[in-house]
Amino acid sequence: MFLIAHKAFLVAVDNNISPSFPDLPNTMNDVREVKRLLMETPSYFRITDVQEFTGTISRKAIIAAALKEFFESATNEDVLFLFWAGHGYLHQGEGYLVPVEGEPQKTDESMIKMADVKSLIDNSNAKVIISFFDTCHSGSIARSQDILRGLTLTGSGKIIIAACQSHQSAYDRNGHGAFTDYLIQGLSGMAANSNGIIDVYNLYSFISTKLSNEFQPGVQVPVLSSSTVTGQPIEIRRILTRVDEKQSAELSPETHVDNSGMSYWIGNISSEFDNFSEVRSGEYKLTMSNPPSEVENEFRKLNEQKNTVGFAVRNQACLVRVVNLNITSGSSGEKMEVELHKVEGNHESAMMDMAYGGGHSRTFSADEIATIRANRILFGDHREERLSSIGDKLLESLISNPTNASIKPVIENLIANLQNQQYKLTRIRVIAVGHLILTGTVERIEKLSFQVTEGTISDVTFIGYRKKYYSNVDPYRIEINGKVPE
């Protein structure tokens, strides 16, 4: 008898040798985020079962041999996850995946046929195979008779979701492929049902709807292909629900917090929600059962005044305005539904942050200033040596009142302050997410985790990425590890 094992195979081809194919630096972001989401608690995947092929390792000989082993060695109890981000190539009606050395003049010798990958998938003994391809012409991997439209996917089987149809291109923007951007949003919780479950069909529906809203009809239409699908909906990922959080807190003391659970932050309040979804691009719905009176009163005020306020949930943050509030009563108490519309903020501006050059070796790039600011927010840290004799009002202003911030001023030592006020751990995390993004410090957060000792946050690990201003330059990465001051 075999134990069920979840295994992942992730490919990012970012820098093709052939001049016929431009570099795709965003594919590295794609794989990095997909891997983070697969590993995020509660996870089915162990790090030892996640293979990653990037850079010069993404050569045909290496990937082809590894793919063969990945699929052929699987047992009928295995669940396999494949993600490929890179170039796709169409030659004489045949679709190809392009490794790092792929050349159009040597198509068969230097590239991998999509049909060969499809054959490996079809012939594998794995119980479940879920594959995502973010490449041009990736729809070629799905046989037309297999394409599902409007069917509910169930149980075990083999699923392929491709970024576009065989004759179409897959587009890149905002640090990610468009397809993968919505895949990431879906896996982050946007495609979850009320029980926190993200299944394949709901995920595909979410991606398809988002792409159709972004692009003109027929520009980039994703493809869903399936074979022998039976049983219950195929579950890719589960996020914590409000009930899960309560049960977890009752059963065991928290020692590590790496997600915000069902906590959110908006304006002057932070609380828990039952369901959160993006109805359309920039339009959100937040649902709460029996909200505390102070929460209900704050939302009533926001609805009446239509003020723009900061909002954070999970790993994302933006400015929003409450556009509608609906409160109903039933046998189980009150249910409050809040409709939020995103408002563009200064932190999303294309204007570059200011750098500082004050002479006497006191020069700071915008990225260095942002790193100092992140330390200030998380730890109240003033230990930067070049700031020891601080007296420059401009430099302090760039740190504490950045021009591209949507909320001001920067709050120092945020985690310790909230902890002293007895805030719940997941609420502290989501408020920190909001302040790190809305102050313009980072554009996105890869990791924000707390080590908890005897109920108190002792250590913080943070990884975030700054806004990417140049398409050929990777976004600046801020990585901080530190202890929370007592």
Per residue in 48-93, pLDDT (tens digit) is 889 999 988 999 999 999 999 999 999 988 889 999 999 999 998 8
**Is residue 477 within 8 Å of residue 463, measured between CB atoms?**
yes
Global confidence as pTM: 0.62
pLDDT at 12 over 90: yes
The strand pair at 128-134 and 156-162 is best described as parallel
Please compute the mean of the pLDDT values over residues 467-483 and round it to a whole number. Answer: 84
What percentage of the chain reaches a pLDDT higher than 90?
A: 42
The CA-CA-CA angle for residues 24, 27, 29, to 5°, reads: 125
Q: Is the predicted pLDDT of residue 349 greater than 90, yes or no?
A: no
Q: Is the pLDDT of residue 136 over 60?
A: yes
Judge whether 345 and 406 are in contact, CB under 8 Å.
Answer: yes
How far apart CA 14 and CA 176 sit, in angstroms, is: 12
Report, as an integer, the average pLDDT of 223-242: 67
Q: Report the range out of 39-48, 106-115, 135-144, 282-291 with the highest average pLDDT.
A: 106-115
Q: How confident is the model at residue 256 (pLDDT cuts 50, 70, 90)?
A: confident
DSSP string of 325-351? Answer: EEEEEETTEEEEEEEEEEE--GGG-SS
- What is the model's pLDDT at position 41? 66
Coil vs helix vs strand at 402: coil
Q: Cα separation of 214 and 220, whole Å? A: 9
Which pLDDT does position 375 carry in this prediction?
Answer: 95
Average pLDDT over residues 9-26: 88
Q: Could you tell me what percentage of the chain is helix, strand and coil, using 3-state DSSP and rounding each to the nearest 5?
A: 30, 30, 35
The SS3 of residue 302 is helix
Most confident stretch, 186-200, 269-283, 302-316? 302-316
Q: Which residues of 424-438 are buried (b: 16+ CB within 10 A; e: fewer)?
A: bbbbbbbbbbbbbbb
